[in-house]
Amino acid sequence: MTGWMIALSLLSLQNAPAAPEASSKAALERFNKAYKAKEPSERAAAVVELARTLDDKVVARLGALLIVDDLTVRIAAARGLSATTGEQRKKAVTLLSRAFGPNAGEPLVSTALVESMETLQDGLGYAVLKANLKSPDPATSRASIEAAGQIRDKSFVSPLIEHARFLEAASREALNTGPGARTVTGGGLPGVGGTVGDPDAPKRARLLVPLTHKALESITKQPFKTTNEWADWWRKSEADFKVQK
């Protein structure tokens, strides 16, 4: 170990932090005062400062900030949670993954959620994003689609196409129903059995399919307008495709 590293180690021992309870209490008190600032940038700076003192109470406070206030504050809270360790890290992952829905329409925030989970563990953020694509909650799915379009990773292309195809199929199935809202064959012939359709599927498809196409266009720089066109192109191009920076 070099001399300056030894010196830093000794200094850290000499200036050991206060007990977590006392330390976080003081940090939260300072934060509560600073957070009253009118400017979002100042409130975001207060969040950054609070995140220097991570314990259960601070993690919970940062988690609450993921879904309120200006996007700069939300992004600062997400990045603050990326520094958690041990049991706090598990809590941080839960908070980050649950914040997708409230951040639909804020792709910079949903991207920060993914990137923070990636910081906590390689591959975790991408895995959560892909799982959230399939969420029955349209807002959660939307936020995941938007983040995929911002991050622009090749691994998102197949899940986005598959999700668009699923949404379109569910929409067709819901529109092809007979008595009791049960899906049927033959264009809705009465008296034919089937599974219970999802009455919200057409609305969900109208909202989300165009967003998946937009995300795919962002990643690939291709202009296709239908899911079938995307699927056909990807089947031929996946092996050699590289994201343009």
Give pLDDT tens digits for 23-82: 788 999 999 999 999 999 999 999 999 999 999 999 999 999 999 999 999 999 999 999
Same domain, 113 and 197: no
Same domain, 187 and 113: no
Residue 214 belongs to what domain range? 152-240
Give CA 69 to chain center in angstroms.
17
Say which CATH number the domain at 96 has: 1.25.10.10
Rg of the chain over CA atoms, in angstroms?
23
Same domain, 116 and 161: no
Q: Is 70 left (phi over 0), alpha (psi -120 to 50) or beta?
A: beta
Q: Examine residue 163 and state whether it is found in any structural domain, yes or no.
A: yes
Give the Å distances, CA to CA, from 206 to 11, 135, 184. 60, 16, 22
Same domain, 120 and 175: no
Residue ranges for the chain with pLDDT beneath 50: 1-21, 179, 181, 184-195
Residue 84 is predicted with a pLDDT of 94
